Chain A
Amino acid sequence: MKKTIILLVLITVMILPVVAEGKAETYPSETISIIVPSKAGGSTDGTARQFALVAQKYWEDANFIVVNKGGSGGLKGFDEIARAKADGYTIGMVFTPQLVAHVVSGRAHYDLDSFHIVGNIVEDPGIVVVPADSKINNLDDLKKAAKESKLVAAVNGIGSDDFLAAKDFEKIAGVEFSLMPTAGSTEQKTAILGAHVDVAFMNLSQMLANHRNGKAKIITICTEERSGIENSIPTSKEQGYALYMTATRGMVFQADVAPEIKSALDSLLAKVLADKDFQDAMEKMLIVAAPMPGNEYRDYLTKLQAQTQEVYDVNPW
């Protein structure tokens, strides 16, 4: 009995891939994999899973599956999307500035031309945050305090958006921090809530809840315009600092995919982005929807890559 069961399981396991190999007639006739270059449970992962859920409404026959390829700051996942078969059954999420930072540091096996860029989905503005009882209340205070004594600033890894923002501020204000890199934003959050560091460069979605309930103080949002999600936080532009940093999360796939599949997926993303359910879900997750069509997003990425290159040339990592 036991042997029979095991045999059956083995046969099924061996046959399954053969059956799944059936020939494609109309797109999409196979499962579409969405590669998420980060671990399960994060906000990029959540965005992708929400996309899959809502996309199902528009393409009822299609199947989406989220494949997490976490690690190495997204590099593994980005590489995989670029290397995928150009049949439109592998699409993927990308996030900045890591996508271009890997190109700049020469570690990537892709460049921006490896991808068809479907568009941007959401953004997460950079912020500067200090412990709740800190004397620092704005960027001027931060500059002053940093000139008086060396402040400890927590950033999430070298070459991350936080790191780039901190380096930017150092340049603009003419100060120097003791940079304390962390492994992940959770460590940064703990360091700020426990007042183990003086300041941290992070993203809005990571600290907004703690800011609202008074456990931490966001002193600026690194954008030109105030955020729709929390209107009370002043921008760096208002405070007279040209400190701009936003993390974006978009969707791309292999550049050589057939044109009709390209336009099919482009319009699918547009429909999902306009969908009320999708927008509601994003808002609940404290993620700011920032729809941007493919050509605009490509320009944005190209510009970002050039800026990152400038920082890298001065401070390689």
Chain B
Amino acid sequence: MELDIISVLITLFKFKNLLAVFLGTLSGIVVGGIPGLTATMAVALLIPVTFSLSPVTGLILMGGVYCGAMYGGSIPAILLRTPGTPAAAATALDGYPLSQQGHGGMALKVSVVASFTGGIFSAFLLLLVAQPLAAVSLKFGPAEYFLLAIMGLAGIVSLAEDDVIKGLISGVFGLVIAVVGTDIISGQLRYTMGIPDLYEGVSFMPALIGMFSITQMLELTGFNRIVSEKVDLKSIKHEKMPKGMWKFIGVGTLSGTVVGVLPGEGATIAAFVSYNFAKQMSKFKERFGKGNPEGVAAAEAGNNGCVGGSLIPLLTLGIPGNSVAAALLGGLMIHGLIPGPELFTYHANITYGFILSLFLANIIFLAIGTFFAPYFSRISLTPTGILIPAVSMFAIVGAYAMNNSVFDIWLMLVFALIGLVLSKTGFSTSAVVLGMILGPIAENGFAQALTISDGSGIIFFNEPIDWILWVLILGLLAPPFINMVKRNIKKKKTDLIYSDN
């Protein structure tokens, strides 16, 4: 079967396939919008259902869920500081402050446009240059993954620029939590206290829900509603997208897609990496974390860029880049679609139908998101008396649903307390999150790289890619330190003036 673009398009525009894209995307947005229900779960649930559909319809349905969920996660992240998916945590950093200031509707618009751009760009790459990109992704070995993780950790310094010391302490705290569980390299258990639920480490999603959502709900108890009283409804609903977003959407899209192509790096990391690059480039650095739409733009473009990116190694090599892609792999296999060159030749009509449907899915969530943004934004006007119990209920269900584990609910509550203490004392919960995600990647990459090189550190400088990564790491680390030094000098000067007086 050779690729026949006309017949692919005819298949795609069949009513049942259009319905599949629409339903998939819509349910994806809902699933993504509810913390704890993830795209991975939704795709896995769909696999047996798709068996009774034609392969292309089944895949389109799952692709829609993937795209929709990645966008949907940003809605509660912006409005409630409750990331619907882990990947939306970075979106909450600036999205929620915007909501508080009454710009929720605008933040939602920025988010949907950025998500759309990231999604469409990465789908184009998947369509046009999947094979060469997959080949490049294989150049990344354990040493490169270690450097990537370090690059992500360098973000801690720029995340917490106001107080680098507290930021670093928070990051290290995250790394310490990441140590809990089975050590991959030796097979030994570390700090699991005999609890089997901790053998695989501290579950990330419940911890995240605790530190972000529940902590936030506790903070809200002192207020009547999220938005300050002065802001009127009309301005929340109809606020235009701010100018100058494209630069940051671009940065997010690029770094998100690149990170997405690399197997083992997830959308969460993509979003944080994009966020950090955007912060370094921005003219309004100091506004980051306090409600800068540029942060929302970069983070959302980043995690949606990951969608197409993660499908590249999946379809060409059978390597799933993240857990959603792994579930999708199951969906492909059940239809006898084995990843590899055959997908692009023998099964070309199915594969390209699927890839093209991703464009449609992106257009659909753009339409839904733009249309409903004014209505969604009303959530920030809901009295906290209703909001807090409702969100808390979802948080508990979500923490449980991730692994069907009651232990995870307790874990979430413990992390809620930790989150509260940290945020009240000026430590950075996002730095903790970064430490938790990147700790295992850094540790395993380091140990595996040294196993390969038989203990020689040269392996971290062998390839040209390594040097590029080192430059990027230094590029991220340098500006915050220069700023810190500058500020110190300034402070000394003012101190001097004081003492003179």
In the complex, 8 of the A-B residue pairs with CB atoms within 8 angstroms, ordered by the A residue number, are A41-B328, A69-B404, A71-B200, A71-B203, A75-B196, A183-B444, A197-B452, A210-B318
CA distance A281 to B317 in the complex (A): 21
Within 8 Å by CB of A181, from B48, B138, B184, lies B184
B390-431 at interface with A (beta carbon < 8 Å): 390, 403-405
A141-159 at interface with B (beta carbon < 8 Å): 150, 152, 157-159
Residues in A with CB closer than 8 Å to B323 are 39, 41
Known: A180-B451, A213-B342. A284 touches B43 (CB 8 A): no
CB atoms of A69 and B340 under 8 A apart:
no
Judge whether B185 is part of the interface by a CB distance below 8 angstroms.
yes
The proximity string for B residues 114-154 relative to A, scoring 1 for CB distances below 8 Å and 0 otherwise, is 00000000000000000000000011111000000000000
Return B63 CB to nearest CB of chain A, in Å.
15
CB atoms of B403 and A69 under 8 A apart:
yes
CB atoms of B342 and A284 under 8 A apart:
no
Return A302 CB to nearest CB of chain B, in Å.
24
B contact residues, range = 35 or more
Judge whether A191 is part of the interface by a CB distance below 8 angstroms.
yes
Residues in B with CB closer than 8 Å to A45 are 44, 330
CB atoms of B47 and A209 under 8 A apart:
no
Return B480 CB to nearest CB of chain A, in Å.
31
Within 8 Å by CB of B187, from A3, A157, A284, lies A157
- From A3, A183, A281, name the one whose CB has the most chain B CB atoms within 10 angstroms: A183
Within 8 Å by CB of A6, from B199, B318, B328, B386, lies B386
Comparing B164-172, B225-233, B245-253, B331-339, the segment that makes contact with chain A is B331-339
Residues in B with CB closer than 8 Å to A285 are 330, 333-334
Judge whether A311 is part of the interface by a CB distance below 8 angstroms.
no
Given contacts A53-B48, A178-B452, A196-B452, 17 further A-B contacts (CB under 8 A): A43-B333, A50-B48, A52-B48, A53-B51, A68-B404, A71-B200, A75-B196, A76-B196, A76-B197, A183-B184, A186-B319, A186-B320, A191-B141, A193-B317, A193-B319, A213-B340, A281-B334
Least CB separation from A193: chain B residue: B138
CB atoms of A68 and B403 under 8 A apart:
yes
CA distance A50 to B335 in the complex (A): 12
Return B273 CB to nearest CB of chain A, in Å.
19
Return B385 CB to nearest CB of chain A, in Å.
10
- From B264, B318, B444, name the one whose CB has the most chain A CB atoms within 10 angstroms: B318
CA distance A271 to B196 in the complex (A): 35
Residues in B with CB closer than 8 Å to A194 are 138-141
CB atoms of B448 and A180 under 8 A apart:
yes
CA distance A43 to B448 in the complex (A): 26
CB atoms of B184 and A46 under 8 A apart:
no
CB atoms of B405 and A69 under 8 A apart:
yes
Residues in B with CB closer than 8 Å to A196 are 141-142, 452
CB atoms of A186 and B263 under 8 A apart:
yes
CB atoms of A284 and B334 under 8 A apart:
yes
Within 8 Å by CB of B199, from A50, A72, A186, A209, lies A72
A172-186 at interface with B (beta carbon < 8 Å): 178-183, 186
The proximity string for A residues 15-51 relative to B, scoring 1 for CB distances below 8 Å and 0 otherwise, is 0000000000000000000000001111101100110
Known: A53-B48, A72-B196, A152-B452. A209 touches B318 (CB 8 A): yes
Least CB separation from B134: chain A residue: A193
Within 8 Å by CB of A40, from B40, B187, B200, lies B40
The proximity string for A residues 232-264 relative to B, scoring 1 for CB distances below 8 Å and 0 otherwise, is 000000000000000000000000000000000
Least CB separation from B455: chain A residue: A178
Residues in A with CB closer than 8 Å to B320 are 186
Known: A42-B326, A79-B196. A49 touches B448 (CB 8 A): no
Residues in B with CB closer than 8 Å to A189 are 317-319
CA distance A310 to B322 in the complex (A): 36
CA distance A283 to B386 in the complex (A): 52
Judge whether B11 is part of the interface by a CB distance below 8 angstroms.
no
CB atoms of A41 and B330 under 8 A apart:
yes
Judge whether A275 is part of the interface by a CB distance below 8 angstroms.
no
Judge whether B499 is part of the interface by a CB distance below 8 angstroms.
no
Return A315 CB to nearest CB of chain B, in Å.
10
CA distance A187 to B452 in the complex (A): 14
CA distance A71 to B318 in the complex (A): 22
CA distance A24 to B326 in the complex (A): 38
Judge whether B182 is part of the interface by a CB distance below 8 angstroms.
yes
Residues in B with CB closer than 8 Å to A159 are 187
Least CB separation from A49: chain B residue: B48
CA distance A67 to B402 in the complex (A): 11
CA distance A213 to B328 in the complex (A): 21
CB atoms of A71 and B333 under 8 A apart:
no
Judge whether B454 is part of the interface by a CB distance below 8 angstroms.
yes
CB atoms of A210 and B184 under 8 A apart:
no
Q: Which 10 A-B pairs have the closest CB atoms?
A: A158-B187, A41-B327, A40-B44, A72-B199, A71-B200, A194-B138, A196-B141, A284-B336, A317-B187, A209-B338
CB atoms of A190 and B263 under 8 A apart:
yes
The proximity string for B residues 432-475 relative to A, scoring 1 for CB distances below 8 Å and 0 otherwise, is 00000000100010001001101000000000000000000000
Judge whether B41 is part of the interface by a CB distance below 8 angstroms.
yes
CA distance A70 to B182 in the complex (A): 14
CB atoms of B48 and A71 under 8 A apart:
no
CB atoms of A180 and B452 under 8 A apart:
yes
Residues in A with CB closer than 8 Å to B327 are 40-41
CA distance A183 to B203 in the complex (A): 15
B307-357 at interface with A (beta carbon < 8 Å): 317-320, 323, 326-330, 333-336, 338-342
CA distance A53 to B47 in the complex (A): 11
CB atoms of B264 and A186 under 8 A apart:
yes
Return A152 CB to nearest CB of chain B, in Å.
5
Least CB separation from A183: chain B residue: B184
Within 8 Å by CB of A178, from B40, B197, B454, lies B454
Within 8 Å by CB of B185, from A39, A42, A71, A181, lies A181
CB atoms of B326 and A186 under 8 A apart:
yes
CB atoms of A187 and B182 under 8 A apart:
no
CA distance A152 to B320 in the complex (A): 23
CB atoms of B340 and A49 under 8 A apart:
no
CB atoms of A215 and B317 under 8 A apart:
yes
Residues in B with CB closer than 8 Å to A213 are 340-342
Return A175 CB to nearest CB of chain B, in Å.
16
Judge whether B186 is part of the interface by a CB distance below 8 angstroms.
yes
Residues in A with CB closer than 8 Å to B317 are 189, 193, 210, 215
Least CB separation from B42: chain A residue: A40
B202-225 at interface with A (beta carbon < 8 Å): 203
